[in-house]
A and B are shown apart, each in its own frame.
Chain A
């Protein structure tokens, strides 16, 4: 079962100003995830200001500058983990929250 762990960044929260990715703690944690067979994917995202919005539902594709939603909270990065059940995923996310100093959301992928 795969779970998406979303990193919730908050631009108004000064306490989380230090970079999430690239810090030694996060690297070591990712290494451990990989070694234990949980890690599917991990990446940090650039700031929402770098986003573009695409809509090709009509006659022609329309490209506009992003982000899609202006909000103080935004997606800062993500993990995808493979875990046998939610409790294991939550435990991994609890460690992840500590090492990246952010609030996280854990959500299952649709299980096909």
Chain B
């Protein structure tokens, strides 16, 4: 029994996007494809425990979903004559694998179309490509189930009404559109890696692993794209440290204090392999590849004291040229502090105050630098500000401990 259940979960992971993609292509309608795919999987959950898993589960699901879709369209055709009978034969030959892979890629590009809002792209990608249910996505983003359902329904209606195409963009548009897809996946990953709100677990493995799974899929479909490889490496090298990042008492553990022995060695190795592959390609790296390289330096050090900080600073310098945002400057300053001392870093950080005043990590960084300089009073004020702005429970716990470790004026009683 439980074996069948595990098989269904695995098949769901492996086949969902394929089934939705092939039905979308055949019927030209995401809504029909999604509903029929969901019904086919529901049928599998019902029947497989009794009759056993079919020898080719993917083909069984596609065939079943096709039938469900045709049944639905037949029902609707009584009112609406738009769909041609020609589309509706039960026995199309199965498509060769390459073509189907290509369809999943189309599905991803449709879900991440720039005419959709960013939050819609995230929700739609998780539903159509990831196969998460509406309640699961609603929970992930702390949105009411009905609101999330509406968001997805409206998105499907917009895709249909505005005729957002179901295809891979032209070569000319491809780099920009791929970068849009990667942004969506990075948002999903980051929300799992450091949840923004206080009402969920601080680290949400289901989101990070889903983001990694989808990025792997894109990597398999676009093996030559450097940024896809870079993002996958970045996610792996970050995810590898997951268990070390939160202590038993639910507090965030900073990189220098982490138990490096508990890092996932296989993920680190795979991430390093991808980074080396990109270095060997000899093409100027984009943002994700540089971030992956920075994480590769960190994960190469067995002890924090072995960290090659000059390399980290150099990579951040490269990143600033690609992405001159104040947050990148802030991260560069953190590395500079290790190389040139907290005073030098603080000078840089303070120049960012206007742009980053509302960002908790800015105040947390200042607090840490001031603490290391022995400026306890100022450090305390900065910790207070950071705690006030931080939403993640594990991070708040970490910052509070750090603040309370400071010697200083006696607590008001």
Taking Cβ atoms with an 8 Å cutoff, the residues of A that contact B are: 1, 84-87, 90, 107-108, 110-111
Contact = CB atoms under 8 A, between A and B. Distances in A.
A90 B161 CA distance: 15
B18 to A, nearest CB: 23
Contact of B165 (A86, A107, A110, A111): A86
Given A86-B164, A87-B173, A108-B161, 15 more contacts: A1-B163, A84-B163, A84-B165, A85-B164, A85-B165, A86-B115, A86-B162, A86-B165, A87-B165, A87-B167, A90-B115, A108-B162, A110-B161, A111-B161, A111-B163
Interface of B: 113, 115, 161-165, 167, 169, 173
B163 A108 contact: yes
A87 B161 contact: no
Nearest to B166: A85
A70 B262 CA distance: 63
| Interface of B (DSSP majority class) | loop
A65 B137 CA distance: 50
Contacts of B162: 86, 107-108
19 contacts: A84-B163, A84-B165, A85-B163, A85-B164, A85-B165, A86-B113, A86-B163, A86-B164, A86-B165, A87-B165, A87-B169, A87-B173, A90-B115, A107-B162, A108-B162, A108-B163, A110-B161, A111-B161, A111-B163
A90 B114 CA distance: 10
Contacts of A108: 161-163
A90 B167 CA distance: 15
Contacts, number: 25
A87 B173 CA distance: 10
Contacts of B169: 87
A103 to B, nearest CB: 15
A86 B116 CA distance: 12
A25 to B, nearest CB: 21
B113, B162, B167 — which one has the most chain A CB atoms within 10 A of its CB? B162
A88 B197 CA distance: 40
Contacts of A86: 113, 115, 162-165
Contacts of A1: 163
Contacts of A110: 161
A79 B165 CA distance: 21
Contacts of B113: 86
Nearest to B114: A90
Nearest to A111: B161
Contacts of A84: 163, 165
A110 B115 CA distance: 17
A99 to B, nearest CB: 19
A37 B169 CA distance: 22
A85 B110 CA distance: 12
Contacts of A85: 163-165
A56 B329 CA distance: 60
A81 to B, nearest CB: 13
A1 B164 CA distance: 11
